Amino acid sequence: MLNINHVRQQFPILTETVNGKPLVYFDNGATTQKPQRVIDAIVHYYTHQNSNIHRGVHALSRTATDAYELGRTAVQQFIGAKHAHEIIFTKGTTDSINLVANSFSRAFLKTGDEIIVSEMEHHSNFLPWQNLRDEKGIVLKVIPLTATQDLDIEAYKKLLSDKTRLVAVTQVSNTLGVINPVKEIIAEAKKYGAKVLLDGAQAVPHMKVDMQELDADFYAFSMHKVYGPTGMGVLYAKEELLQAMPPYQYGGGIIKSVTIGTSEWADLPNKFEAGTPNIEAGPATKAAIDFVNEIGIEAIAKHEHELLIYATKQLQAIQETEIYGNTANKAGVISFNIKKVHPFDTGTLLDQMGIAVRTGHHCTQPLMHCLGIPGTVRASFAVYNTIEEVDAFITGVKKAVKMLL
Ligand code: PLP
């Protein structure tokens, strides 16, 4: 059983008030709050360990390097990667996907090759491929949605062809919370020899992900959405792919040797980590993963699911609201509108009541075009949210209905 008080006590920000009201933080899809141990890890790093990593022989540099690399090992174990060097540290999901678009395309793509994305992608998993279409003459195909806003898997199967080189889809929609059948998507792609990139930004915080079980070729996520630091992203990729791909940024840290004539690349993962990274995010990443492991990702998923079911039921009972993503298989995200009301107006009123939700297109404009709406109000849950907070949110929505209609 989740001890919610014990969980909440670990997050100092949750005692803040907003507009004189206790903060109800339902914007976890954008970023989660940080437990004390993550904050402490950053303070500890700068107080006791600060030094540049990897190239120093002095003690402090070795300490900082070890602390940073412990973050990598923690990620490796957390997502079940075979090797720590299959974990490339980036700035975030966006950076991870851009790395693949840039490097994979130079190694493996030519004009006329095809990439498949879906209509529900975050712009981070859409624009890099749209750009390749325009720059390299790649054909970009888009999986449509069904009436319940699931991916249309039958349509997907028809989009696949011998020319498909990459399928890049999100595991969980940041706007709708819909969980996609990624194992089936991967199995279908493999029939054509296509590689698969999963955007795991909204999956890793909410469910167990295991690279051996999923067998994705690339997997991207951001630590700041998993109770960890900003500026720390992960690109997991299978070793043989990383070996075959060229660096995507050039500079210090990625080489074995450099002469005026040529350069030899460093071993993995350094080949893809040019320049000084966000070092303190290494130990902070380990602290965040320790936090999740201590509770257990399954317990987190169960708690968030209870919040989702409860909130959905309450919201459905308010006739003036419309919920998007009406499928059974969802993570803790609920997107809705008060009918005929702009989401910004609803969000602004909720903010006055201390309730933080996200409003707008959620960086999924193609999805908004598909739904025929300018945006939604999105409440996204984390392990520290409570049923009482959902009640406060529902009271807020009812007030907003009265005031805005
Ligand atoms: N992909 C999805 C599904 C997301 O939800 C987000 C952020 O909201 C991103 C990608 C981009 O993540 P970041 O801004 O951390 O790079």
Rounded to 5°, angle at Cα 357 from 355 and 358: 155
102 and 194 both lie in a single domain: yes
Residue 212 domain flag: yes
Atom 4 of ligand 1, residue of closest alpha carbon: 201
Residue 32 domain flag: no
Catalogue the long-range contacts made by 59-68 (C-beta closer than 8 Å, 24 or more residues apart).
64/279, 67/279, 67/282, 67/283, 67/286, 68/277, 68/279, 68/282, 68/283
Q: Cα separation of 270 and 291, whole Å? A: 27
Residue 31 domain flag: no
Q: Which atom, in ligand 1's list, is nearest to the CA of 363?
A: 8
Measuring from each residue's beta carbon to the nearest atom of ligand 1, which residues come in under 6 Å?
A: 29-30, 92-94, 122, 124-125, 170, 174, 199, 201-202, 222
Residue 206 domain flag: yes
Residue 301 domain flag: yes
**Which of 235, 266, 293 corresponds to the end of one domain?**
293
Q: What is the pLDDT of residue 259?
A: 96
Q: Find residue 380's DSSP bridge partners.
A: 27, 333
**Which of 266, 293, 320 corresponds to the end of one domain?**
293
Q: Cα separation of 252 and 93, whole Å? A: 23
Q: Which atom, in ligand 1's list, is nearest to the CA of 174?
A: 5
Q: Which two tokens stand for residue 49?
A: 């360990």
305 and 357 both lie in a single domain: yes
Q: How far is the CA of 56 from the centre of ligand 1 (A)?
A: 34
Q: Tell me: the pLDDT tens digits for 174-202? A: 999 999 999 999 999 999 999 999 999 99
Q: What is the pLDDT of residue 56?
A: 78
Domain that holds residue 134: 39-293
Q: Find residue 87's DSSP bridge partners.
A: 236
Residue 18 domain flag: yes
Q: What is the pLDDT of residue 99?
A: 98
Q: How far is the CA of 51 from the centre of ligand 1 (A)?
A: 30
Residue 219 domain flag: yes
323 and 239 both lie in a single domain: no
**Which of 226, 261, 293 corresponds to the end of one domain?**
293
106 and 169 both lie in a single domain: yes
278 and 315 both lie in a single domain: no
182 and 206 both lie in a single domain: yes
H or E stretch at 265: strand 263-265
244 and 315 both lie in a single domain: no
Measure CA 100 to chain center: 16
Catalytic residues: 363
Q: How far is the CA of 63 from the centre of ligand 1 (A)?
A: 31
283 and 385 both lie in a single domain: no
Q: Which atom, in ligand 1's list, is nearest to the CA of 30?
A: 8
Q: What is the pLDDT of residue 54?
A: 85
Q: What is the CATH number of the domain that holds 321?
A: 3.90.1150.10
Check if the beta carbon of residue 104 is closer than 8 Å to that of residue 245. yes
Q: What is the pLDDT of residue 251?
A: 95
Q: Which atom, in ligand 1's list, is nearest to the CA of 230?
A: 15
Choose the residue to mutate in 227, 232, 363 for probing ligand 1, maximizing ligand atoms within 8 Å of C-beta.
363
Of 354, 295, 385, which Cα lies nearest the Cα of 32? 385
Residue 33 domain flag: no
Number of helices (H), then strands (E), belonging to the chain: the values are 14, 17
Q: What is the pLDDT of residue 5?
A: 97
Choose the residue to mutate in 169, 222, 278 for probing ligand 1, maximizing ligand atoms within 8 Å of C-beta.
222
Q: Tell me: the pLDDT tens digits for 63-109? A: 999 999 999 999 999 999 999 999 999 999 999 999 999 999 999 99
Q: How far is the CA of 126 from the centre of ligand 1 (A)?
A: 11
367 and 395 both lie in a single domain: yes
Query: Phi then psi for 300, rounded to 5 degrees?
Result: -65, -45
Q: How far is the CA of 312 from the centre of ligand 1 (A)?
A: 24
Atom 8 of ligand 1, residue of closest alpha carbon: 30
Q: What is the CATH number of the domain that holds 62?
A: 3.40.640.10
12 and 53 both lie in a single domain: no
Print the SS3 string covering 274-336: CCCCCCCHHHHHHHHHHHHHHHCHHHHHHHHHHHHHHHHHHHHCCCCEEEECCCCCECCEEEE
Q: Which atom, in ligand 1's list, is nearest to the CA of 172?
A: 3
289 and 143 both lie in a single domain: yes
What total number of domains does the chain contain?
A: 2
56 and 198 both lie in a single domain: yes
Full pLDDT tens readout for the chain, 405 residues: 899 999 999 999 999 999 999 999 999 999 999 999 999 999 999 999 999 998 778 999 999 999 999 999 999 999 999 999 999 999 999 999 999 999 999 999 999 999 999 999 999 999 999 999 999 999 999 999 999 899 999 999 999 999 999 999 999 999 999 999 999 999 999 999 999 999 999 999 999 999 999 999 999 999 999 999 999 999 999 999 999 999 999 999 999 999 999 999 999 999 999 999 999 999 999 999 999 999 999 999 999 999 999 999 999 999 999 999 989 899 999 999 999 999 999 999 999 999 999 999 999 999 999 999 999 999 999 999 999 999 999 999 999 999 999
Atom 5 of ligand 1, residue of closest alpha carbon: 174
- Relative to beta strand 164-170, strand 114-118 is parallel
Q: How far is the CA of 93 from the centre of ligand 1 (A)?
A: 6
Q: Cα separation of 29 and 31, whole Å? A: 6
Choose the residue to mutate in 27, 98, 121, 124 for probing ligand 1, maximizing ligand atoms within 8 Å of C-beta.
124
